[in-house]
Every structure is written in C-alpha cells, then in structure tokens.
C-alpha cells in the first residue's frame, strides 16, 4: 500500500499471503532466480523496515552487517534458522522469527514418500517407465522391501519425528528413537528410547533424520555411524543436508551397505553432490518437505503475523531469541 512502511521480500509468496502483505505495506518483491550476495541483499532491503527471507537466502555475519539501519524485523519463511547468523542479528537489535508447527504433517508425509520410494524402488520404476525401457512385468523386476515388520529408527522426535512415527506405525513398523531426552508421546505409542545414537543404529532397518542443525548434529551420519547400520539398511533425510557426510553416504550406497536412500535436503543446496544423480538407489527430491498449498499459506500467514507484531510494538508469537 503506497505511503505505508516498506517491507522487502526476497522470494515470491503464495498469492493469499502476497495479497495480505500488500494491503498493509509497500512491498519490494524479490526474484526467485536470484542468489543474493551481502551487497545485493542490502540494496534490496534499502529503506525497508522489515525483510522477509527464506532458507534459500544466506544471512551470515557479513550480510547482517550490511543490512540498512532501517531493518527492524527479520521473519524467515522456515522453521530452521541455520541460514541466519542469529548472534549478529541480535547484536544489531534485529528481531528474528520463524514458522514452527505448521509444516509438521507436510514434512512427515514427504518422509514417508521417500521411505516408500527408497524401499519399494519407486524412483527407479518411474524412470524405467518414463524412459520407454520397460518391457513388461517379471517376477524378479525391481524387488524392494516392505515396510511392515521393519524397525524404524528416528533421530529427533519433535513434532515432525512424532508425526513420522505415527505414520510408520500405521504401516506396521516398529519404532525406536534417539532424542535428547525420552519423549512421553513416543513412549505412549510403544516406541523404544535409546540414549545413544550409536547404540540404536545396529537395530535400524530404516533410519530417518528429524533433528535440528547444531554443532552436535553437523556431520552426524558419517562413515563410522553408517557402518553401524545393518547391511541393507535405508537412510531418509528430510531435516538438513549437513547432518550427512556425502562422501560417506555415497560410498555406502555404491557398496550396497546402504540399500537405498531418500533425500529431500542437501549440503549446499541446490548444488548437491553430483554423484547422487548417478546413483539408481537414491530417491532425490528438491526440498519439498513443506510444499503443500495449505502448509505454505499457513507458513506465510505466520510470517505476516510475526511481522505485524514486530512492527507494531507487540511481542511476536514465534521469536527465535
């Protein structure tokens, strides 16, 4: 709205969110195709009181330092905040908010899609049909592994981990998990708690990662830990690419120690390790975890609720610090 405070947005938002934003603010829209540098981000934010960002944007200490003094609010269209140097933002008095809770079901659904795709070789089958190379049904064609009766190990049973456990339970899987502390909700559904990741891994037919990024979880799944999984295990990652050491996972997939993997997140995305593309036994998705219309609208509305609160002197519902 002309004459209203200016808000800069790095990426386009769902239509309903954009319509709401323009009713209250003057808006400078970003370009989905742009990779912002500290200088181009600062130029984009010039004169704005709020800057809406996404996980595709890197706001390290240098980028935060270059933001104009006018910026007071930094809502991110995400739950994770590892793309933002929170210490630098706090030091400058810039409030950061995120969007927890609303993407639980969508992300859990994607984890199950990857689990089914990896275990039932869905990606391979789709590529076979699309290529025109399928010659008809055979008793031994693309034999995979069923979910029922398998043990699913979950690292991190917050909202999403619990939602995955609930879905997997419905498929007949046994649930074990590692968390910083036992989860009463997981215990209620009969899941078994392991205080140590290393102690849990040998019992996992499938391992699914749902922990936040932190110094403790960076490179969590390295060659040593992959070797603790049973031969023929499956690895699913919908959390953060940095949890996995790519060299180690690729080697395990090539050797067959890991039967297959399903990945929605990558180190350095969208520039994933190109070797993954050459592996038939990995199902790759382009960070679709929250990509349903319902979820993205809910995330966008939460971003705008937080923005309105920060710019009108109220405490936001979802402060990061």
Same domain, 146 and 96: no
> Angle of helix 293-311 relative to helix 104-119, nearest 10 degrees?
150
In sequence order, the 6+-apart residues with CB closer than 8 A to the CB of 102 are: 295, 298, 299, 302
- pLDDT at residue 6 tops 90: yes
- 318 belongs to a structural domain: no
**From CA 150, how far away is CA 147, in angstroms rounded?**
6
Catalytic residues: 240, 269, 287
pLDDT of residue 105: 97
Q: pLDDT digit string (tens) for 165-186?
A: 999 999 999 999 999 999 999 9
Q: Is the pLDDT of residue 3 over 80?
A: no
Report the 10 Å Cβ neighbour count for 1: 11
Residue 196 has pLDDT above 80, yes or no: yes
Read off the pLDDT of each residue in 199-207 and give the average, rounded to a whole number: 98
List the structure tokens of 107: 């992300």
Quickly list H helices, 156-280: 159-170, 184-188, 197-200, 223-228, 246-255
317 assigned to some structural domain: no
The pLDDT value recorded for residue 87 is 97
Residue 284's pLDDT band (boundaries 50, 70, 90)?
very high
93 and 153 together in one domain: no
**Would you call 58 helix, strand, or coil by DSSP?**
coil
Residue percentage of the chain with pLDDT more than 70 = 99
Considering the domain architecture, whether residues 24 and 91 belong to the same structural domain is answered as: yes
Task: Indicate which CATH number applies to the domain containing 65.
Answer: 3.40.50.720
Could you read off the pLDDT of 254-278 as tens digits, one per residue? Answer: 999 999 999 999 999 999 999 999 9
For residue 239, being part of any structural domain is answered with yes
Contact 288, 103 (CB under 8 A): no
Say how many domains are in the chain: 2
Mean pLDDT (whole number) for 140-165? 98
| Whole-number average pLDDT of the chain | 97
**Mean pLDDT value across residues 283-304:** 98
Say whether pLDDT at 144 is over 80.
yes
164 and 62 within one domain:
no
* Residue range of the domain that includes 246: 104-284
Examine the domain organization and report whether 215 and 185 are in the same domain: yes
Report how far apart, in Å, the C-alpha atoms of 321 and of each of 73, 81, 210 are: 12, 11, 22
* Residues 6 or more apart whose Cβ sits within 8 Å of residue 83: 53, 55, 56, 57, 58, 59, 76
Q: Check whether 2 has a pLDDT greater than 70.
A: no
Q: Is residue 172 part of a domain?
A: yes
Whether 147 and 206 map to the same domain: the answer is: yes
- State the residue for tokens 């970003």: 30
């Amino acid at each position: 709205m002309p004459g209203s405070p200016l808000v800069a947005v790095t990426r386009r938002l769902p239509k309903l969110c954009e319509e709401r934003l323009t009713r209250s603010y003057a808006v400078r829209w970003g370009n989905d195709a742009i990779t912002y540098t500290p200088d181009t981000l600062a130029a984009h934010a010039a004169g704005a009181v709020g800057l809406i960002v996404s996980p595709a944007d890197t706001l390290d200490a240098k980028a935060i330092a270059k933001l104009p003094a006018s910026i007071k609010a930094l809502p991110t269209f995400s739950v994770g905040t590892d793309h933002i140097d929170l210490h630098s933002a706090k030091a400058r008095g810039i409030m950061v908010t995120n969007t927890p809770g609303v993407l639980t079901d969508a992300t859990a659904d994607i984890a199950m899609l990857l689990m089914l795709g990896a275990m039932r070789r869905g990606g391979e089958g789709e590529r076979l049909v699309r290529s025109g190379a399928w010659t008809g049904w055979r008793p031994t064609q693309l034999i995979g592994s069923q979910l029922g009766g398998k043990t699913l190990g979950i690292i991190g049973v917050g909202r999403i981990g619990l939602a995955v456990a609930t879905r997997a339970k419905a498929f007949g899987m046994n649930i074990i998990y590692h968390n910083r502390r036992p989860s009463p909700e997981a215990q209620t559904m009969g899941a078994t708690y392991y205080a140590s990741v290393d102690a849990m891994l040998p019992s996992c037919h499938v391992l699914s990662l749902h922990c936040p990024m932190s110094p403790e979880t960076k490179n969590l799944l390295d060659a040593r830990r992959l070797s603790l999984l049973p031969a023929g295990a499956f690895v699913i990652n919908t959390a953060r690419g940095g949890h996995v050491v790519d060299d180690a996972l690729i080697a395990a997939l090539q050797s067959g120690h890991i039967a297959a993997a399903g990945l929605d997140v990558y180190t350095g995305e969208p520039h994933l390790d190109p070797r993954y593309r050459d592996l038939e036994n990995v199902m790759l998705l382009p960070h679709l975890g929250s990509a349903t219309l319902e979820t993205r609208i809910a995330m966008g509305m939460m971003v705008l609720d937080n923005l309105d609160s920060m710019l009108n002197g109220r405490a936001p519902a979802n402060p990061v610090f």
